[in-house]
């Protein structure tokens, strides 16, 4: 039955674990819709024919003499039941659809993460074991896969019809999509948000492989080179790595060459920026008084817009890396920070009051800073820690 309806409605194969449930709701909704419209049209046609002018004696009784705004024509109970029934139907669809939507957007905790970057007009992918690919997304079967996606330029949309899934890919933020593919196979990916001349050809393919095949394929992938000139100044790299590095090792290289390590230490030593030692998933205080957990999303956002969620006690001197790092590079840095999560960090360590050449330090006594907490630098107080 499922297969018959699927083919009749021209739905693609149900390649993801959630596709079948979505299709069941689809059948319910669309069949009811067609039946409802046909019913209304049929009833109207029936009345039009039956009550046509000159249809014969008795068909056209004299028009109702009551004033026109008096209720009439049909029982109020019938009308209320029909409207009530329709509302109940809609609410049912809404409830089922919303429960499914929550399943669609919340990935299982054991999902494998793959980083996706959309740019005009291609998709590139970076894998946690290292390596990357362009235009082809390799995923294992039988495991949930989470895609963390961003765009380099304009809004795109990552659409996998066979999975029934789609999420917009937005510059300046990370969006996510998860799925679990049931069996090995190939599935098309389309861009579904108008993005320019190449919108219709911005395509990719998911290649789902069983475990052993998957491991073998991934091992053979080299890390991605920077794909072409970036907006603004690109960060040049000294040399291409010859052998595939783990993503974390790649992140260490990127962090060194992009200048991150000029302000961030990795061993817990206080410096201009927060140390990366023990940073991943820690709860950190922000300059506006709130707290946040330093997870993947926070770390990515901080590289895009550092001043938006500034770690309390530090100066807003970090530049944005929007457009300067590719998504695989961003992902690699996050992996590197992740790898440092168990390195000991000194909780009370204050930042060094080192003036950064070329930038004027802010005169900002931090509101709400309790005595003993790190204070910001004021001009004139050259030197030592508070």
Partner 1 sequence: MTSYLTETTGIKSWLLTKDHKRIALLFMVATAAALMLGGVFAMVIRFELIGPGPDLMAQLTYNRMFTHHGVVMVFLFMVPVIPTVFGNFFLPMMIGAPDVAFPRLNLASFYVYCAGAVIVLASLWFGGVDTGWTFYTPYSTTSPTSVAVAAFGVFVVGVSSILTGLNFIVTVHTLRARNLRWMMMPLFVWAIYATAIIQVIATPVLGMSLLLVALDHAWGLGIFDPSMGGDPVLFQHLFWFYSHPAVYIMIVPAMGVVSEVVCTFSHNRPSSYRAIAFSSLGIAFIGFVTWGHHMFVAGMSVVDVGIFGILSMIVAIFSAIKVFTWTITLKHGRIRFTTPMLYFFGFMFLFVFGGMTGVAVATSSLDVHWTDTYFVVAHFHFIMVGGTLTMYLAAIHYWFPKMFGRMYPERWGLIGAAGVILGFIFTFTPQFLLGNAGMPRRYATYPAEYQWLNVASTAGATILAMGLLVNLGYLIWALFKGPRAERNPWGSRSYEWLAPTPPPVHNFEAPLEITRGPYDYHLPEHE
Partner 2 sequence: MSDQPPPPAGPRLGVQFQDTAKQAHAAHFGMWLFLASELLLFAGLFGLYTAYRTRYAAAFAEAVHHNELWIGATNVVILIVSSFTVAWAVHCLRKGRRRAVLWLLAITLVCGLGFLGFKSLEYGIHFRDGVFPGRYYAYQELPGHGAQVFFTLYYFMTGLHALHMIGGLAAIGWITARVARRKTTAAYPVPLELGALYWHLVDSIWIFLWPMFYLTTG
CA end-to-end distance (rounded Å), the chain = 74
With beta carbons less than 8 A apart as the criterion, state whether 196 and 119 touch: no
CA dihedral angle for residue 106, residue 107, residue 110, residue 111, rounded to 10 degrees? -160
* Radius of gyration for the chain, computed over Cα atoms and rounded to the nearest angstrom: 30
Least distance to partner 1, CB of residue 379, Å: 26
Q: What whole-number distance in Å separates Cα of residue 12 and Cα of residue 25? A: 15
Residue 132 CB coordination number (10 Å): 25
Asked whether 145 and 218 are in contact (CB, 8 A), the reply is: no
By CB under 8 A, the count of residues binding partner 1 is 94
Residues 152 and 119 sit within 8 Å (Cβ to Cβ): yes
230 scored as a contact of partner 1 (CB under 8 A): no
C-beta closer to partner 1: residue 51 or 215:
51
CA 150, CA 323: separation in Å to the nearest integer? 11
316 binds, among partner 1, partner 2, none (CB under 5 to 8 A by kind): partner 2
Question: Would you list the DSSP string of 5-16?
Answer: HHHHTTPPP--B
Q: Which of partner 1, partner 2, none does residue 246 bind (CB under 5 to 8 Å by kind)? A: none
In the stretch 80-109, what mask flags binding to partner 1 with x, by CB under 8 A? --xx--xx--xx-xx-xxxxxxxxxx----
CB of 72 to partner 1, least distance (A): 7
Rounded to 10 deg, the angle between the 296-304 and 327-339 helix axes is 130
Q: Which of residues 278-297 bind partner 2 (CB under 8 A)?
A: 287-288
Q: Should residue 231 be labelled a site residue for partner 1 when binding is judged by CB under 8 A?
A: yes
> Considering the complex, what minimum distance in angstroms separates the CB of residue 376 from partner 1?
22
Q: Using an 8 Å Cβ cutoff, are 155 and 113 in contact?
A: no
Q: Answer for the pair 1, 28: CB distance below 8 angstroms, yes or no.
A: no
Contact pick of 2, 36, 129, 293 for partner 1 (by CB under 8 A): 36
* Polymer length of the chain: 386
Question: Which of the residues 243 through 302 are near partner 1 (CB under 8 A)?
Answer: none
In the bound state with partner 2, the residue whose beta carbon lies nearer, of 139 and 310, is 310
351 binds, among partner 2, partner 1, none (CB under 5 to 8 A by kind): none
Determine which residue in the list 22, 207, 260, 315 makes contact with partner 1, applying CB under 8 A.
Answer: 22
Which region among 93-101, 176-184, 307-315, 369-377 touches partner 2 (by CB under 8 A)? 307-315
Among 192, 310, 330, 376, binds partner 2 (CB under 8 A): 310
Residues 106-165 binding partner 1 (CB under 8 A) are 153-155, 157, 159, 161-162, 164-165
Residue located via tokens 């494998």? 112
Query: For partner 1, which residue of 17, 111, 246, 322 counts as binding (CB under 8 A)?
Result: 322
Return the C-alpha torsion angle 321, 128, 226, 174, nearest 10. -40
- The least CB distance from residue 316 to partner 1, in Å, is 13
Question: 320 to 349, contacts with partner 2 by CB under 8 A?
Answer: 320
Q: Which stretch binds partner 1 (CB under 8 A): 61-69, 134-142, 328-336, 353-361?
A: 61-69
Rounded distance between C-alpha atoms, residue 273 and residue 282, angstroms: 15
Does 359 interact with partner 2 (rule: CB under 8 A)? yes
> Which among 114, 144, 112 is positioned nearest to 127, based on CA atoms?
114
Please confirm whether the linkage preceding 278 is cis (ω < 30° from 0): no
Residue with tokens 């190939």: 186
Question: Which one of the spans 197-205, 209-217, 240-248, 348-356 is the region binding partner 1 (CB under 8 A)?
Answer: 197-205
Q: Report the Cα 260 to chain-centroid distance in Å.
A: 25
- Of 60, 364, 378, 381, the one binding partner 2 by CB under 8 A: 364
Check binding of 200 to partner 1 (CB under 8 A).
yes
Interface stretch with partner 2, choices 64-72, 84-92, 323-331, 360-368 (CB under 8 A): 360-368
**Contact positions toward partner 2, by CB under 8 A?**
287-288, 305-308, 310, 316, 320, 359-360, 362, 364, 367
């Amino acid at each position: 039955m499922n297969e018959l309806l699927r083919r009749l409605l021209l739905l693609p194969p149900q390649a993801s674990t959630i596709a079948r449930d979505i299709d069941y709701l689809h059948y319910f909704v669309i069949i009811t819709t067609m039946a409802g419209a046909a019913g209304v049209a049929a009833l109207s046609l029936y009345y039009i024919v039956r009550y046509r002018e000159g249809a014969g004696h008795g068909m056209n009784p004299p028009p109702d003499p009551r004033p026109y705004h008096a209720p009439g024509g049909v029982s109020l109970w019938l009308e209320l039941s029909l409207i009530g029934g329709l509302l109940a139907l809609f609410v049912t669809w809404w409830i089922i659809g919303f429960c499914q939507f929550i399943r669609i957007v919340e990935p299982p905790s054991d999902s494998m993460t793959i980083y996706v970057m959309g740019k005009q007009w291609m998709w590139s992918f970076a894998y946690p074991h290292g390596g990357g690919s362009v235009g082809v997304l390799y995923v294992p079967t039988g495991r949930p896969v989470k895609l963390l996606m961003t765009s380099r330029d304009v809004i795109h949309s990552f659409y996998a019809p066979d999975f029934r899934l789609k999420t917009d890919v937005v510059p300046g933020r990370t969006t996510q999509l998860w799925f679990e593919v049931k069996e090995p196979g190939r599935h098309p990916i389309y861009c579904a948000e108008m993005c320019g001349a190449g919108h219709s050809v911005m395509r990719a393919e998911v290649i789902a492989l069983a475990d052993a095949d998957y491991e073998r394929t991934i091992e053979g992938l080299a890390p991605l080179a920077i794909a072409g000139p970036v907006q603004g100044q690109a960060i040049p790299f000294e040399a291409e790595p010859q052998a595939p590095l783990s993503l974390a090792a790649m992140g260490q290289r990127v962090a060194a060459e992009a200048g991150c390590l000029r302000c961030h230490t990795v061993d817990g030593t206080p410096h201009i920026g927060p140390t990366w030692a023990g940073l991943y998933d820690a709860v950190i205080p922000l300059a506006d008084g709130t707290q946040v957990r330093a997870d993947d999303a926070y770390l990515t956002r901080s590289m895009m817009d550092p001043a938006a969620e500034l770690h309390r006690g530090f100066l807003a001197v970090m530049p944005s890396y929007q457009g300067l790092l590719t998504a695989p590079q961003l992902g690699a840095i996050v992996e590197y920070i992740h790898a440092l999560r168990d390195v000991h960090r000194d909780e009370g360590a204050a930042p060094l009051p080192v003036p950064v050449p070329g930038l004027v330090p802010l005169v900002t006594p931090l509101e709400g800073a309790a005595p003993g907490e790190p204070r910001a630098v004021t001009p004139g107080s050259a030197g030592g820690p508070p």
